[in-house]
Each structure stands twice: as C-alpha cells, then as structure tokens.
C-alpha cells in the first residue's frame, strides 16, 4: 500500500498507544524526543511547563527548531513546581498517568519530591522514564551534553579527520537517547500487563553513544586493529566517494560489487576499464584506488550532477546528491509519500505560520503517522486542570510564578 496519505489524516485506525497518558517534565531535546515518539504513537502526552515556558520555545540559531519539532502532538499545562500548590497539582496529575518522563539533573526531581523513589509506593503502576547524561556509575555526577559524550565516547574521533575530532551534524545522542527511552517505556508497559506493577527505566547520552560506536569496538575485538576515523578509513570498495562534477557541484557515487562494476563500465561507456585486468575484482579495485580515483575524478569532472544521477538511477547503481537540510523541504519523494506534514508554529516571530515538519520514519497500516501542531504555552491548562477539580481562579493562580525568597531562583 502506498504511504502517500497526508501525515495529518485523522481517518487512520486508532493508534497503538491510544489510552496511555504520559506526564513529562522535560526540556531541550532528549526527554522531549521520548515524549514525541509516544505522542505520535497515540499516547496523550502532557508537557508540564513553568510559567515562563520551556526555554527551547525561545532559542535562536541552531536551536530554533527544537521546540516545534520535539514537542509536537503534545498538550501544554503550566504549573509552578516551586510552589506547594503547583507540586500538589503535579501529584494529582501524576495520579492519572501511566508514564512520567523527565530529563533534569538527578537532584532536581528529588528536591521537588517528584523523583521515582518518592512516587513508587504511592503509584505502584507508574512507569517512570529518566533521561540522563550517564547511567548510574562513576560518571553519573558529571554534566553531559551531546557534544561531551561524542568527544569522550569515540564518535567525534571517528567523524572528524585525524587530529580534528568533529561532532556529528545533528543532536544524534539526544535524539536517539530519547528514542531508546521510548523503547524502554514500551517494554515496561508490556511487562506491566503481566505483573501489574510499574518500574523506573533509564536512558543516557553516554551509553547511547557507546552503542553507536560499538561496531568499531567490535572491529578491534575481532581483528585487533583499531578503527581509523571515517575520513581516513580504508574503503572496502573501489568506488565509494564524493566527486566534483560540472558547475562545481558534488555527487556521491558507489560501485560495491563485481556485478555493479560491469554495469557501471557499460553505462559510462568505459570499455577500457571493463577489460582492465588490474580492475577485475573488487579487491583489485581497492588496491588500485591510488590511481583509479584521480582518473575517475578526471573523467566525471565535465559531466553534470543531473546526468550522472539519472544514469546511476536508471542502472540501479548507488548514488546521492549532496543535499543541504533545508533543500529537503522540497524533496519530491518526501512530498509524495507523506514525509512532510504541516504544523502551526506556536512561538517566535513566525508564530501562527504553517511550516512543514517530519513525521516518525515508519508506516503503520501503510500510512505515516499523523502529527499535531506543538502547543501554545498553557494551551491545555484549563482542560487538564478542570478534570482534576480545579476552578478557573485556581487554574489562573497555578499558571503564575510564585514569589521566591531572596536569592532563590
């Protein structure tokens, strides 16, 4: 079945987590990503925000997309957790939840009386997912960021050139750490069906990063040879590189089997290479890369990116144009398959405008999952808090910041 249905189509079958309520106390990327996954799978995810809102609502530069991406499909309730009344409301809300999520420093939730140890006896069916820098152990007191764990976890070493460690080009550990948190929640929900009891589950940036580089760790365990950074690696294929072509454009081209080599030579009209004994097998071509690649670069330099893309595509050969992220908003495949979905921006200079976001990268029943716009600050406070027994005056009071003692933030 085609996946071309719009990702906002409400006619889809009931989503698998329908009826599950999640209350999240999260910020930045990792914790919100977990909630995003659960929300898009059908859970009711209630994001508890301070009166000033999640700080990511107001980030600029490379953080400007954080809030609208990672907090879509959720509800927003404003509570001042530094007030007794705000914490009492949070506990009433938790009493209605299947799952609580958080990603603050270990001491933060404990000080508020909202950590798992404080809640587990009162709410024995509760599943509590914590997202931290490190799982419990010698490093768990350290402050972690995605960049920190990439540096200490080998990923920056593998990504950059020798002597120039480089972070990956996206919040890879934050995003995947949130995904693993969601996976752990799904496992705990399934286990609760049999035991009737909840549990605490944890995901962490560092351990997520270690999982990403585990293939290189195992390479050393198997071969005894440390992995080189990706830009310096010995390619296992003769042609597997980025080439500069006409008008200064770039394209990635690959030939990864002997069958593909014959197809490639025929498609390019290079009979001399097809019959060259020095290039007979893939391993021969790997040994010949010192002269093969410069000659390949010379031969394709005058050909256009479009011509090469069409040629490789028509012959089933691997290729990829070098694309910048913003260009994907006009990608024909994404536009044709429900890979882009409209949302309304809740904040900032462009609030109220419609932009495209990206649904979760899989289908259920042949369709991409529907998404809902990220919430305005406190958009659902009245709805959620009235259901807990609060009147309008109390709801307004709960949404205001309580006075702080001098010196307290």
- Nearest Cα neighbor of 99 from 207, 187, 206, 204 is 187
Cα–Cα distance for residue pair 271/25, rounded to 1 Å:
64
* Cα–Cα distance measured from residue 206 to residue 158, given in angstroms and rounded to the nearest whole number: 15
Which stretches does DSSP call E strand in 279-409? 319-321, 341-344, 354-357, 363-364, 367-368
User: What is the C-alpha separation between 324 and 298, in angstroms, rounded?
Assistant: 25
For the chain, what's the residue count? 409
Number of Cβ within 10 Å of residue 317's Cβ equals 20
Q: Is the CB of residue 299 less than 8 Å from the CB of residue 308?
A: no
The full 3-state SS of 163-209, as one line of letters, equals CECCCCCCCHHHHHHHHHHHHHHHHHHHHHHHHCCCCEEEEEHHHHH
Residue with tokens 């305005």: 376
| Helix and strand numbers, DSSP H then E, in the chain | 17, 13
Q: d(Cα 282, Cα 284) in Å, to the nearest integer?
A: 5
Cβ pair 296, 239 in contact under 8 A: yes
The C-alpha atoms of residue 298 and residue 11 are separated, in whole angstroms, by: 54
Q: Catalytic residue among 174, 241, 258, 290, which?
A: 174
- Token digits of residue 93: 């809300």
Nearest residue to 399 via CA among 171, 78, 100: 78
Whose CA is closest to 96, among 48, 52, 132, 49?
48
What stretches of 43-159 adopt beta strand conformation (E)? 44-49, 75-78, 99-102, 127-132
Give residue 243's region: left, alpha or beta (phi > 0; psi -120 to 50).
Answer: beta
Smallest Cα–Cα separation from 172: which of 202, 205, 144?
205
Please say if 174 is a catalytic residue.
yes
Give the dihedral of Cα atoms 210, 216, 222, 226; nearest 10 deg.
-120
Residues labelled catalytic: 174
């Amino acid at each position: 079945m085609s996946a071309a249905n719009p990702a906002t189509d409400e006619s889809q079958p009931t989503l698998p987590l329908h009826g599950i309520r999640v209350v999240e106390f999260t910020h930045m990327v990792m914790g919100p990503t977990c909630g995003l996954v659960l929300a898009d799978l059908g859970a009711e995810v209630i994001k508890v925000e301070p009166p000033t809102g999640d700080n990511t609502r107001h980030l600029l530069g490379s953080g400007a997309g954080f809030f609208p991406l990672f907090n879509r499909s959720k509800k927003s309730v404003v509570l001042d957790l530094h007030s007794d009344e705000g914490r009492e409301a949070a506990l009433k809300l938790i009493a209605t939840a299947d799952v609580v999520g958080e990603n603050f420093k270990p001491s933060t939730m404990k000080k508020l009386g909202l950590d798992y140890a404080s809640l587990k006896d009162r709410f024995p069916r509760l599943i509590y997912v914590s997202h931290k820098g490190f799982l419990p152990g010698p490093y768990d007191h350290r402050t972690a960021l995605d960049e920190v764990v990439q540096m200490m976890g080998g990923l920056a070493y593998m990504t950059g050139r020798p002597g120039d460690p480089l972070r990956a080009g996206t919040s890879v550990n934050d995003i995947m750490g949130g995904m693993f948190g969601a996976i752990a929640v799904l496992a705990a929900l399934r286990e609760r069906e049999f035991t009737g009891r909840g549990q605490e589950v944890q995901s962490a940036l560092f351990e997520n990063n270690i999982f990403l580089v585990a293939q290189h760790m195992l390479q050393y365990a198997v071969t005894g040879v440390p992995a080189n950074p990706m830009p310096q690696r010995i390619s296992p294929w003769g042609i597997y590189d980025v080439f500069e072509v006409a008008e200064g454009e770039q394209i990635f081209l690959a030939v990864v089997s002997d069958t593909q080599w014959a197809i490639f030579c025929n498609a390019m009209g290079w009979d001399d290479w097809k019959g060259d004994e020095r290039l007979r097998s893939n391993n021969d071509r790997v040994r010949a890369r010192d002269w093969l690649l410069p000659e390949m670069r010379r031969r394709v330099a005058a050909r256009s990116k479009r011509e090469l893309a069409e040629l490789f595509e028509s012959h089933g050969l691997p290729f990829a144009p070098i694309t910048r992220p913003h260009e994907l908003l006009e990608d024909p495949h994404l536009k044709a398959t429900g890979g882009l979905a409209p949302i309304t921006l809740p904040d900032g200079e462009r609030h109220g405008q419609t932009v495209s976001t990206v649904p979760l990268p899989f289908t259920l029943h042949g369709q991409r999952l529907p998404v809902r716009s990220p919430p305005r600050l406190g958009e659902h406070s009245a709805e959620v808090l009235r259901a807990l027994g609060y009147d309008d005056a109390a709801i307004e009071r709960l949404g205001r910041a309580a006075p702080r003692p001098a010196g307290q933030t």
